[in-house]
Chains A and B, each alone.
Chain A
Amino acid sequence: MALKGFLDMLPLSLAVLPWGILCGSLAIQRDFTLLEALLMPLLVFAGSAQLVATELIASNAPLATILFTTFIISSRHFLYGLALRDKLKILPTRWRLSLGFLLTDELFALSTSPRSLKGKLRLIYALSASGSFYVCWLLWNIIGIVAGSYLPDLTETGLDFAIAVTFIALVIPTIRNIPVLVTVVVAGVLSVVFKLINWELGLVFASVLAMFCGYITFIFIDNKKAQRNQEKA
C-alpha cells in the first residue's frame, strides 16, 4: 500500500518539479538566506503561496499584505478539510495532524473515492502518497536553491502545462454523470472569467458556485426520476 501510494502520487510529484525549482531559485535570487529558503518548502509547503509571498517579501510589502495574500491563496484548503472532515475527525491526533499538514491539492485529488482514507491500509496509502509528495517538493526546492541564479525563468518555458495535464488526467475520468459534468463546465468557465479580471478569490468562488450547480443538477435529475417512477406506479 505504501508503494502504491508513492507510485500513484509520482506523476503529480513530477508535475510540480518545475514549480519547486522555480520556488527555490526565486528565493535565492530574492536574497533569502539558505535557512529561509529551506523553511519555505519545509513549513509553508505551498506552491503558489510560496511564489507570491517570496515576491512580496522581496519587495518589502507590509506583513499584513503578505499574510492576507497567503490566506487567500490557501483558502481553498478549507474546502478540502470540510470534504474530508467526517473521515478524518475520528482519527487519532497523530494521523489528523500529519494528514492535515500534508493536505495539498494533490493529496485531495487522490482522496476523492468514497472509500478513501477508510481503514489502516488506506491511511498508510494516503500518508505514503502525501509524504512522498512532501519529500519531492522539498527536493525540487533544494535543486532550485542550489542551481539558483543559473536557471532561466521556468514559468516562461510553459512547464505549468505539466500541472494542467495531470489534473486533466485525474478529473476527466471522474465525469461519469451529468451533475459532475455540470460542475466541471461551470468551474472551468467561471475560473477563466475570474482569472481574466485577476480576482484573487476567483478560484474558491468558481469552485463553490460550481459545486452548487452540480448539486442543483443532481436534485433536479433526482426529482425527475422520482416523478417518472410515480407515473409508472
Chain B
Amino acid sequence: MKRRANILVKSAILSLSLTLAGCGHPWPQPAAGGMAERDGPVEPDHIDTATTILIESGRKRISPARLATAEDHLILAIRENAAGLYEDADEDTMAASIAVGGLNQYRQDDETACIGDTCPETARDIK
C-alpha cells in the first residue's frame, strides 16, 4: 500500500514537473525602437545627418525627393539603432548621407565631414 502511494506521489511530481516545464515557452526578447525618432536622434552620426538634411532642405540645394528619401533612411536608422540592429542602422545612416547627395556631414562642432569623392577643399575627409 505504501509502495503504491509512493508511486502515485512520484507520478504526480513527474506530471507537475512536465506541466511546469511546458509553461516555459522560449519567446524572443522584447522589441523596441518602433518610433524612436520621436525622441530625436541620439547617435552623433544621426545628429550630423539630421543636421545636414535640415540645412540642405533649407538651402533647397537637394531635391525634395532626395531629402524625403534621406529622412526615411534616417528614421529607419534611428529605429534600428534603438532596436539594437546596429549594422542595419549603420547601413541606413550611410544611405541617408548618400541620399542628400552632398555627402557632407555638418557636425555639431561646426566642422564638415566628407565621405565622398567630390568634397569641398575645407572638408575633412573621413572616408
Task: State yes or no: do A and B come from one complex.
Answer: no
Task: Give the interface of B toward A (CB within 8 A).
Answer: none
